[in-house]
Amino acid sequence: MTPTETKSERAAGWNRPPVVEPGGEGGLLEVAMGPHHPSTHGVFRMDVALDGERVIKLKPVFGYLHRNHEKIAEQASYLASMPYTDRLDYFCSLTNNWAYALAVEKLVGQEVPERAEYIRVILAELTRIQNHASTIGFLLQEMGASGTPLMYAFREREKILDLFEGLTGSRMMCNYMRFGGCRVDVSAAWLDATRKVVAGLPAFVNEFEALLTSNEILMARCQGVGVLPADLAVNAGISGPMLRASGVNYDIRKVDHYGIYDRFKFRVPLGDHGDIYDRYMVRVLEIRESIAILDQALRDIPAGPIMDVKAKIRGFRPKPGEAYGRIEAPKGELGFYLISDGSPNPYRYRVRPPSLINLTILEDMCLGQNVADVVLIFGSVDIVLGEVDR
Amino acid sequence: MRQSKELAARSQEQILKTVEEIKSAIEAAVPGAGAEVVPNPGPAAQHSLRFAASSAIAVATFLRDDPELAFDFLSNVTGVDWPDKEIAEKVKVTRQVLKTVDGPDGKVEQAVEETVDETRKRIEPGCLEVVYHLYSVAKKHGPLVIRMRTGNRTDQVELPSLTPIWRAAELQEREVFDLYGIVFTGHPDLRRILMWDGFKDYPMRKDYVEPDDYEYEPTAHDHVLARAQGHRSREQGTGISDQDSSAG
């Protein structure tokens, strides 16, 4: 690397074309990375064919954590699936709750009181911050920065999880949203504690960035690696920070204006190369925008009820019909598709998992890269196996 | 609050209009597309378009490439199982009945027309359905819901794959194949995805029967044996051994 080289020149050099023909004398080496591999974030396998160090084929293998969540939900009442949605992406139970509640509210035409909408926004943005911080921590862990960045991230995450525990009774399995509002009201003391945590977050992001953003190793490992072109990203249904790192301006909070997101001022960070570094950078900037949303929400939150008075709790039977509701979860577009036949349990219950669909292009990003970079590319997708396999 | 309800009602009307407009646009571009609007009676009012499997590729290409519609983002793909339904309906039947009537020469048997209510049962054949939710990243609109149906649930379960149009369908169509048994022709890599390769049967179907035991070596616990007794006749009827479909 010469000092005069620009980022894009380096990107062009790093993005080698895929090697299709096996070269050398030894032929191909087939490696099963996983299902028990420290970089796979759970039980996930990549069957990789290598020519020397280079990846020439990669097939993901799913299903080790499959428990047919959808079938189980079709045999339970609508509300009974709410705690089960916590277990999809167990880092972000509150956004899972919100996506499910939103879909059911669309199905029955339920309205949500203003205070509950504010609480939902506050919790969703806190979830986004702790998810993005942990993702970056894990990415650095996989890069060889053993422990330190992850512990910095987990220190902040722990503060946020304490807030979740104070409000919902559980750190990760929150089970908090209801159709037409939220389960319990936030107290003034909880809001004060949240303001205090949020006030400390910019210092954390600054510290995190000072350590990482211009770190030479991070730049060398991430820039120009695992490039995802914008047109392929859109065609393959990629969503969330992955899509925006490729330069596509599509944030469901801005497009659908679900909840009350049209009331807040925030920007949508975009990448311009679509490599791992851009995915890292987009996540850091999204943390900053989430802090801005939190400041506004905590300033404006009104008094009032947290459940709609007309919300039906007992004997909940939606009229026949169907609805697809989606939100911008930290990992991408999380959607729920429900068909009601008028009975107490859904006729069809479908989760649109961003983690699974963002893996569609894993092979495209890895072809021609070194096998050591596969771990980083996979880490930059940000998946949770509980949601991939359902 | 009232204002937002009015707004919602207005946008619902607009959605319906758009679906019908899209339908006429499809019919103009792809002759014989056989599109029909499937209304959604619920408050969400996300009406959908169903079209014939034979024209699916042409319609999907049109939806993606038309500059006005520009549905470039396939969000969600899923299957729905509609089993055979037994429908009981009441019909009025008129038939000739012999009755004893007072005639001029005493009592006479005479054919009289009589109308009675009769319950008739008919079986509406089931099918498998696949549902696609489309959005536009370029135009920021959506969703457009499109659906296709198979001929039946047993031997005509083929539908064209839309993976060549939208890569997003690749893993999701594999999942529909795995859990519902819809065979997508033209899919580049149609294998089971969540269940293992040797698995038989399709777990998301409504008539799926769970295996007695999930252990690798069958256990002879009482509740397992009782469950096995319960559906021995099913095994003989369908030829699918439930033990085959458990772990192994």
Tokens (6 digits) for A274: 């679509």
Q: For residues A38 and A97, state if they share a domain.
A: no
Give the distance from residue A30's alpha carbon to the nearest chain B alpha carbon, in angstroms. 19
**Mean pLDDT, rounded, for A32-58:** 82
* Boundary-marking domain end, from A61, A81, A97: A61
**Whole-number pLDDT of residue B231:** 66
Domain check: are A117 and A53 in the same one? no
pLDDT in tens, A294-312: 999 999 999 989 888 888 8
Optimal mutation site among B167, B187, B197, interface A, most CBs of chain A within 10 A: B167
Confidence at residue B40, expressed as pLDDT on a 0 to 100 scale: 83
The continuous run of DSSP H or E covering B223 comes out as helix B222-230
**Chain B closest-CA separation from residue A70 CA (Å):** 8
Note whether residue A1 is domain-resident: no
Strand-pair partners of B114: B95
A250 touches chain B (CB under 8 A): yes
Range of the domain at A32: 7-61
For position B233, what pLDDT does the model report?
Answer: 63
Query: Residues A54, A94: one domain?
Result: no
Q: What is the 3-state secondary structure (H, E, C) of chain A?
A: CCCCCCHHHHHHHHCCCCCCCCCCCCCCEEEEECCECHHHCCECEEEEEEECCEEEEEEEECCCCCCCHHHHHHCCCCHHHHHHHCCCCCCCHHHHHHHHHHHHHHHHCCCCCHHHHHHHHHHHHHHHHHHHHHHHHHHHHHHCCCCHHHHHHHHHHHHHHHHHHHHHCCCCCCCCEECCEECCCCCHHHHHHHHHHHHHHHHHHHHHHHHHCCCHHHHHHHCCCCCCCHHHHHHCCCCCHHHHHCCCCCCHHHHCCCCCHHHCCCCCCCCCCCCHHHHHHHHHHHHHHHHHHHHHHHHHCCCCCCECCCCCCCCCCCCCEEEEEEEEECCEEEEEEEEECCCCCCCEEEEECHHHHCCCCHHHHHCCCEHHHHHHHHHHHCCCHHHHHC
User: Using CB atoms, which residue from A321, A360, A390 is nearest to B40?
Assistant: A321
Q: Which amino acid is at A368?
A: G
* Residue A173 belongs to some domain of the structure: yes
A356 touching B (Cβ < 8 Å): yes
Q: How far apart are CA A255 and CA B75, in angstroms?
A: 14
Show which residues on chain B lie within 8 Å of chain A, measured between beta carbons.
Answer: 1, 4, 40-44, 46, 72-76, 78, 80, 131, 133, 137, 140, 143, 145, 166-172, 175, 179, 192-196, 203-204, 208
Q: Is B41 close to A321, i.e. CB distance below 8 A?
A: yes
pLDDT at A46 over 90: no
How many domains are there within chain A? 2
Question: Over the stretch A193-232, which tens digit does the pLDDT of each residue have?
Answer: 999 999 999 999 999 888 888 888 888 888 888 899 998 9
How far apart CA B99 and CA B108 sit, in angstroms, is 8
- pLDDT over 90 for what percent of chain A? 47
Domain endpoint, select from A61, A87, A104: A61
Domain ends where: A61, A81, A105? A61
Nearest to B79 by CA among B191, B210, B172: B172
A128 and A260 co-located in one domain: yes
* Residue B173: per-residue pLDDT: 92
Residue B168 to residue A235, Cβ atoms within 8 A: yes
**pLDDT at residue A331, as a whole number:** 92
Is the pLDDT confidence value at A19 over 60? no
Confidence of residue B130 (pLDDT cuts 50, 70, 90): very high
Does A128 score more than 90 pLDDT? yes
Q: According to the model, what pLDDT value does residue B215 have? A: 66
Q: Which residue of B has its CA nearest to A64?
A: B194
Domains and CATH numbers, chain B: 2-81+128-208 (3.30.460.80), 85-123 (no CATH), 209-248 (no CATH)
Claim to verify: residue A209 and residue A130 sit in the same structural domain? yes
Does one domain contain both A16 and A159? no
Residues A25 and A75 in one domain: no
CATH number, domain of A174, equals 1.10.645.10
> Which residues of B are less than 8 Å from A363 in CB distance?
none
Instruction: Determine the distance in angstroms separating the CA of A375 from the nearest CA of chain B, rounded to an integer.
Output: 21
In a shared domain, residues A231 and A354: yes
Element (H, E) at B91: strand B85-103
pLDDT band at A283 (very low <50, low <70, confident <90, very high): very high
Q: What is the ipTM of this complex?
A: 0.84
Provide the pLDDT confidence category of residue B241 given band limits of 50, 70 and 90.
low
Q: Does A232 touch chain B (CB under 8 A)?
A: yes
Question: Which residues in B lie closer than 8 A to residue A340 (C-beta atoms)?
Answer: 42
Asked if residues B72 and B64 have their Cβ atoms less than 8 Å apart, the reply is yes
Asked if A177 and A198 sit in the same domain, the reply is: yes
Would you call B75 and A320 a contact, using CB atoms and an 8 Å cutoff? Answer: no
Give domain status of residue A2, yes or no.
no
Q: Please indicate whether residue B239 or residue A284 has the higher confidence score (pLDDT).
A: A284
Residue B240 confidence (pLDDT): 59
- At residue B226, the pLDDT reads 76
Q: Is A160 inside any structural domain? A: yes
pLDDT of B217 reads 65
- Residue A120 pLDDT class (50, 70, 90 cuts): very high
Q: Which of A344, A304, A336, A332 is nearest to A105 (CA)?
A: A336
Q: What are the tens digits of pLDDT across the range A337-368? A: 999 988 999 999 999 999 999 999 998 888 88
pTM: 0.83
Residues A16 and A92 in one domain: no
Kindly write down the DSSP assignment for every residue of B58-72, as one continuous string: HHHHHHHH-TTT---
Kindly state whether residues A136 and A259 are assigned to the same domain: yes
pLDDT at A116 over 90: yes
Do you find a cis peptide bond into B39, omega within 30 degrees of 0? no
* Per-residue confidence band for A29, with pLDDT thresholds at 50, 70 and 90: confident
Task: Give the minimum alpha-carbon distance from B243 to chain A in angstroms, rounded to a whole number.
Answer: 18
Q: Specify whether A153 is located in the same domain as A32.
A: no
